[in-house]
Structure 1
Amino acid sequence: MIPIELEAEKKEILKRYKHLLKVSKLKDNKDKKLIRKAFDTALEAHKDMRRKTGEPYIYHPIEVARIVAEEIGLGATSIVCALLHDTVEDTDMTLDDVKRMFGPKAEKIIDGLTKISGVVDHNVSLQAENFRKILLTLSDDVRVILIKLADRLHNMRTLESMRRDKQLKIASETLYLFAPLAHRLGLYSIKSELEDLSLKYTEPEIYEEITSKLKKTKAVRTRFVNQFSLPIQKALQEQGFNFEIKARTKSIHSIFDKIKNKHVSFEEIYDIFAIRIIVDSAPEREKADCWNIYSIVTDFYQPSPDRLRDWISTPRANGYESLHTTVMSPTGKWVEVQIRSQRMDEIAEKGYAAHWKYKEGGEESNFDTWINKIRELLENPESNAIDFLDDFKLNLFAEEIFVFTPQGDVKSLPVGATALDFAFEIHSQVGERCIGAKVNTKLVPLSHVLNSGDQVEIITSRKQKPNESWLDYVITGKAKSKIRSALKEDKKRIAVDGKATLEKKLKKLKIPFTNDIIKDLLSFYRLPSPLELYYKIAINKVKLGKLDEVTYEGSKLVWNKPEQKINTSKQFEEALRSKGQADEMLVIGEDMEHFDYKISPCCNPIPGDEVFGFITISDGIKIHKTNCPNAVQLLSNYAYRVVKARWTSQEQIAFLAGIKVTGIDDVGIVNNITKLISMELNVNMRSISFDSNDGIFEGTIMVFVHDTRHLTDLIKKLKNVNGVINISRIDTA
């Protein structure tokens, strides 16, 4: 590299480091020296490395440390660990070096941030194992996750330089786990940015469309906000409040969610922005001041009674406090108004870090309660990392309800929680012995879904024990993991008999009881673990009579009927191994000799859609759209089973696609739509269903098209039919 460029890079590195020191606002010289030492160490360790963008690698740790200091608000130890977070994973530095130079605390945090390496069993998701490792540190030190979020945020901000398949994998992981985590830790601005950046790569066209519409409507919004807040501003000044009024625009991802879930257009979303009133109050005056401001706002504008949210009296689990109301403006638009104190606002923006700043005299807050719940969930972590993640995710994004015990204590549970969830929330033993419940003095079954404000009394019996069907009744991670571990203990007890039966049978056949023999049996009976084998023998699901047809040759079992031994998991592993070696593109529509693939019914992709292949255990390769409802989960947990795929030009083949049509019911409208599809456009229909209600019709049409261009053309022409208001593509029939 040209010396001038190197010199410019050195200056830029120094400039970024100085900016980091400035935003970290450290007073103690000892801390500054420690950060300088960490910076020098990271600079030396990464000196020959470059990022995919071509810039020096050290930019990344400096930027992560800046996010940790400025955007999350953490202190010196976290900044040191952020600077060093990739050293153990990517350079020759070891955890012992970190411990020697920076102490055991830093070593522990960096260990939590270092990915698991080495070859793992092909049936195990390395991604899920890594997520699990990060989550298990949550009960020890939350800083690990906060630094990981800062690392992910910077990676998302610089994702443009990555390959398309990598972009999809990283964006999906972000949506699956990191954005919900940021939400639960109260980091709202980081959560919104992570979601928006993920949408930029998973749905680029939609992202661009919403962004440009927000830009176009910005001036109108600003004018509206100024007019709306003027009378409130005057009244608050007259009353002597020290306050600030801000306008907060809804994040791009939230707008996309609303369009998708509520089936509305961008123009129809009434809460694209909210007015936020932040008041400077003494702690003991906060609640009264917020309600006074609410009273002033509603003097000017009529509130919607069912849109009042009081998170000051009952804060959210992550510590979020605010008073939300929706009022009608003079122009006939609903406007959301959020009222909070400066302390509440800082906790809402900085989440966890601000929470500690304001915590008084060791009193336990909602946030501590949540961390304690997580600790319980982590006490006996589910051995299957994917199940563990699913259980954990249940506790991240759920809205809450508040339920009372017979003594009047309040318990918060996610929306949709059942009487059985409540029993496990009280104590795992109460949950395991629960036979029913009384909700508001009425007897209800275990599966009864609770509502906010219910008073619940649990009925127990010593004879009761958990069974498999209980997993269908519960939604909280705590209940699921406790039921699973109870079932596992039960299984272990029963499996002891099965093991004894197998030992007896093998002894009779003069076959030794060794690990290799057990492996052969697992392969023959297609079972995942010895525990499963012994358990199934004990409950007579596995018949040992088949062992009479076996011969023992040179420490191996040989079946006399080899055709029985079809091992799908072996073929599955083979497919994964060849995928790893070849990393070739699966071309859909070519000669299908090499790969057996199917179009996935969950999203019905058609040529022109961006797709990927997913290697299933027993059903060949399934083709999914990159924005399929299941894509985020598949790309987050099983990226090692994903193959790149593209279409060939297939004018001859027709693919099934679904269209949803809504409009104003009129005589002959269905006839006009079907005539246009089949006669003018020459498209075959597989099925059509229309439903009319109070002058509005809704219809679903399944049509055969060649590709996305063909479908887009069809949708465009249908929009011109008189009476059609909205038309969109749907994934499934």
Structure 2
Amino acid sequence: MSAIEVFAERLGDYLEPDQVNLVRRAYFYAEQAHDGQTRRSGEPYVTHPLAVAGILAGMHMDHQSLMAAMLHDVIEDTGIPKDALISQFGDTVAELVDGVSKLTQMTFETKAEAQAENFQKMALAMARDIRVILVKLADRLHNMRTLGALSGEKRRRIAKETLEIYAPIANRLGMHSLSTEFEDLGFKAMYPMRAQLIDRAVRSARGNRKELLSKILDTLQTCLEREGIPGRVIGREKHLFGIYQKMRGKRKSFNEIMDVYAFRIIVDKADTCYRALGAVHNLYKPFPGRFKDYIAIPKANGYQSLHTTLFGMHGVPIEIQIRTEEMEELANNGIAAHWVYKSKEDVINGNHARTRQWLKSVLELQQRAGNSLEFIENVKIDLFPDEVYIFTPKGRIMELPKGSTPVDFAYAVHTDVGNSCIACRVNRRLAPLSEPLQSGQTVEIITAPGARPNPAWLSFVITGKARSNIRHFLKHQRHSESIALGERLLEKVLVSFDTTLSDIPQPRVHQVLEDCGMDSLEELLADIGLGNRMAYVVARRLLASESSGEIEAAKVAEPDDAQIREMPLAIRGTEGLVVSFARCCNPIPGDPIVGYLSSGKGMVIHQENCKNLADNRHSDENILHLTWDKDVTGEFTVELRVELEHERGIIAQLATGITMADASIDKISVDERDGRTSVVQLVVRVRDRLHLSQLIKRIRVLSGVLRITRLKN
């Protein structure tokens, strides 16, 4: 019997006869298309598509996936166009083949930017039809199984790509057996010597442990029978790459890892899992804190099981996983388990729904990411999840990567919740937004209308969704703020020419935009606000006559530079990201100030007598005269130096005095000068100079305070 007939017979177990015939037809089409082509091993090329379809059939994939597997190299390797496949096999199969072909053209050896672009393509192909990636994973698995025919360098490159990209994707889709095989094959190709050593050690350890292993297995099986629990017990082998990672990552010796005996108990239904758990806990004492219930709270990829660790005979640790036959199938084949490809109208089961949710979030990341490198950074975080399970106040469970903070949780609930988050309660108590969350905690997010994401959040958030949304918001906010500042700077100059921006004829504005290579006035204003263009130069160009390039004499009399400088711009303190306050001199409302336009950063405000600007304050065209708006708001940092005599509790008195003056301490450091005196450096937040003078008075009257000075530069 030919190979395809043997395969067709196997498919008859779960596919309809007409579906089997379609798969057979796709095979003969591929055989004809690849006629004369061979693999590196010398076999006819068609053996590869047949093997890929065989892997998918083992997962009970639908007939369209098997047809796509048969045809997956036809477009790329034989020159047959996509249209020919549409006319022969229909749109769906042709789209799957096209999707797999595009993924096959990707190479991950190129520099980071190109790799990220390719990864983006893969994510988008997955989002359109998840079967594309399943066919690709099966294709990669067969290639990994037949790596021997390739050169050493190519073998290592493909293995590295498999370990970094394909194994995590298989794991994220819940396909544990596929992920494990990828890891072991990749490990053997990347580090043949290490794999050989560990393999030899595992075989030797297995021989020594055979007797004890079968004794524990018999005891567990007898225990289930005695309790009347229908189920089977199987020994669980640790895979080579898993052992290697534990030895490397957890700094454990080989013997420490192999001393743990692992078993799996497979039962009929979820209720029985808990009965089996009770039975084994009665048989051997459980390790405290080592029980995990992934049935009640499944992992993000749909994995369900009970995990427990027991003190076995002679104190030997025994790891046990308890699950149903369905959970076992799902753990091994993930989203491909019992595959029935659903149309949009059908209800999709929990695992499919979870995967679709993940793919939707991947698409969202792709739209919000500034570039492909940012996108791959965010998705890779989601591909290596070690989850914590957090409850909302209404009892809904959310899974997040380990190390997630309340800000990550807020964005997981909804983007708007994250953007307007100001505080949080963890288990009903106020907690910092940067505190890492633990499984089982209940988190409530406190929001406020008009609140904005804080740039400092980027230093502690973990999830891709939170990171990309914060960056997206800040980018958008920075852009709108730079437009507003640019408009104020330009209007300030135009007023000195006795005109305003609205008086400039539109054709003239368009001409200047064209000369500057800009598409819109907003773009030009943003460039001024970011300090990339001088408002004075732009104003002169806007007022220049198109013919002569001179200022229209009839319309405006040109002011001198001094006149422009005499009209200071008012600072409100709420300008946002494009206006910052220099840390060298910490200006506060009431201080005489100037602004320095720094290219790409916007305006940095300094005190007028700041040493950092002393040399070029009168000559530099980037320096603007500023004033404080009468309605200035916000808190501003000031650095103070306090000399103290040693007294019990003097630092506490100092902190209390600052709080009583309605100011807050950002930073405090104490330097002991000698046995009698100390110098305290303080960074405090005040509203203005009047508030600062009240604060200094309050500190000065404390007993033990010798001198207090405000530090500048």
Relative to 1, partners in 2 of residues 1:119 and 1:221: Cα closer, same or farther, differing over 3 Å? closer
Output one character per residue of 1:88-138: Cα deviation in whole Å (capped at 9) or x when no partner: 222212222222211121122222212276999x98744432322221133
Relative to 1, partners in 2 of residues 1:378 and 1:17: Cα closer, same or farther, differing over 3 Å? farther
Q: Are 1:394 and 2:360 an aligned pair?
A: no
Query: Is this contact kept in 2: 1:73–1:354, CA < 8 A?
Result: yes
Deviation at 1:77, TM superposition (A): 0.6
Corresponding residue for residue 178 of structure 2: 190
Output one character per residue of 1:479-521: Cα deviation in whole Å (capped at 9) or x when no partner: 22222332343355457679999999xx99x999479x78xxx
Q: Which AA in structure 2 matches 1:409?
A: R
Query: Is this contact kept in 1: 2:301–2:354, CA < 8 A?
Result: no
Corresponding residue for residue 621 of structure 2: none
Residue 310 of structure 2 aligns to a residue whose secondary structure is strand
The two structures have a TM-score, normalised by structure 2, of 0.66
Query: Is this contact kept in 1: 2:120–2:372, CA < 8 A?
Result: yes
Q: Can you give the 5+ residue segments of structure 1 that lack an aligned partner in the other structure? A: 1-10, 519-530, 548-733
Relative to 1, partners in 2 of residues 1:235 and 1:127: Cα closer, same or farther, differing over 3 Å? same
Relative to 1, partners in 2 of residues 1:41 and 1:385: Cα closer, same or farther, differing over 3 Å? farther
Alpha-carbon distance in 1 for matches of 2:370, 2:280? 53
Relative to 1, partners in 2 of residues 1:273 and 1:16: Cα closer, same or farther, differing over 3 Å? farther
Q: Are 1:174 and 2:162 an aligned pair?
A: yes
Corresponding residue for residue 594 of structure 1: none
Corresponding residue for residue 95 of structure 2: 108
Corresponding residue for residue 56 of structure 1: 44
Relative to 1, partners in 2 of residues 1:538 and 1:512: Cα closer, same or farther, differing over 3 Å? closer
Relative to 1, partners in 2 of residues 1:83 and 1:357: Cα closer, same or farther, differing over 3 Å? closer
Query: Is this contact kept in 1: 2:229–2:276, CA < 8 A?
Result: no
Out of 342, 350, 354, the position equivalent to 1:369 is: 354
Matches within 5 A, 1:262-277: 262-270=250-258, 273-277=261-265
Alpha-carbon distance in 2 for matches of 1:55, 1:111? 25
Corresponding residue for residue 136 of structure 1: 124
Corresponding residue for residue 325 of structure 2: 342
- How many aligned positions are there? 515
Alpha-carbon distance in 1 for matches of 2:11, 2:231? 25
Corresponding residue for residue 451 of structure 2: 464
Relative to 1, partners in 2 of residues 1:114 and 1:469: Cα closer, same or farther, differing over 3 Å? farther
Query: Is this contact kept in 2: 1:139–1:374, CA < 8 A?
Result: yes
Out of 297, 303, 318, the position equivalent to 1:320 is: 303
- Aligned-residue CA RMSD (Å): 3.6
Query: Is this contact kept in 2: 1:270–1:334, CA < 8 A?
Result: no
The two structures have a TM-score, normalised by structure 1, of 0.64
Matches within 5 A, 1:315-464: 315-354=298-337, 362=347, 365=350, 367-379=352-364, 381=366, 382=369, 384-464=371-451
Q: Are 1:477 and 2:450 an aligned pair?
A: no
Alpha-carbon distance in 2 for matches of 1:327, 1:357? 39
Greater Cα shift, 400-409 or 246-255: 400-409
Identity within the alignment, %: 36
Corresponding residue for residue 698 of structure 1: none
Q: Relative contact order, CA 8 A, sep 6+: which one is greater?
A: 1
Alpha-carbon distance in 2 for matches of 1:428, 1:182? 28
Corresponding residue for residue 244 of structure 1: 232
Greater Cα shift, 536-545 or 201-210: 536-545
Corresponding residue for residue 278 of structure 2: 295
Relative to 1, partners in 2 of residues 1:492 and 1:64: Cα closer, same or farther, differing over 3 Å? farther
Corresponding residue for residue 640 of structure 2: none
Matches within 5 A, 1:19-38: 19=7, 21-23=9-11, 25-38=13-26
Query: Is this contact kept in 1: 2:388–2:439, CA < 8 A?
Result: yes
Q: Which AA in structure 2 matches 1:416?
A: G
Q: Are 1:96 and 2:83 an aligned pair?
A: yes
Alpha-carbon distance in 1 for matches of 2:193, 2:147? 17
Relative to 1, partners in 2 of residues 1:442 and 1:37: Cα closer, same or farther, differing over 3 Å? same
Alpha-carbon distance in 2 for matches of 1:291, 1:266? 32
Q: Are 1:161 and 2:149 an aligned pair?
A: yes
Deviation at 1:17, TM superposition (A): 5.8
Query: Is this contact kept in 1: 2:38–2:44, CA < 8 A?
Result: yes
Q: Which AA in structure 1 matches 2:122?
A: I
Corresponding residue for residue 245 of structure 2: 257
Output one character per residue of 1:195-245: Cα deviation in whole Å (capped at 9) or x when no partner: 111111222221111111112222233322211122222232233333221
Residue 307 of structure 1 aligns to a residue whose secondary structure is coil
Residue 449 of structure 1 aligns to a residue whose secondary structure is coil
Corresponding residue for residue 46 of structure 1: 34
Relative to 1, partners in 2 of residues 1:512 and 1:241: Cα closer, same or farther, differing over 3 Å? closer
Output one character per residue of 1:393-437: Cα deviation in whole Å (capped at 9) or x when no partner: 212221221212222222221211111111111111111111121
Alpha-carbon distance in 2 for matches of 1:534, 1:474? 33
Q: Can you give the 5+ residue segments of structure 2 that lack an aligned partner in the other structure? A: 491-500, 539-713
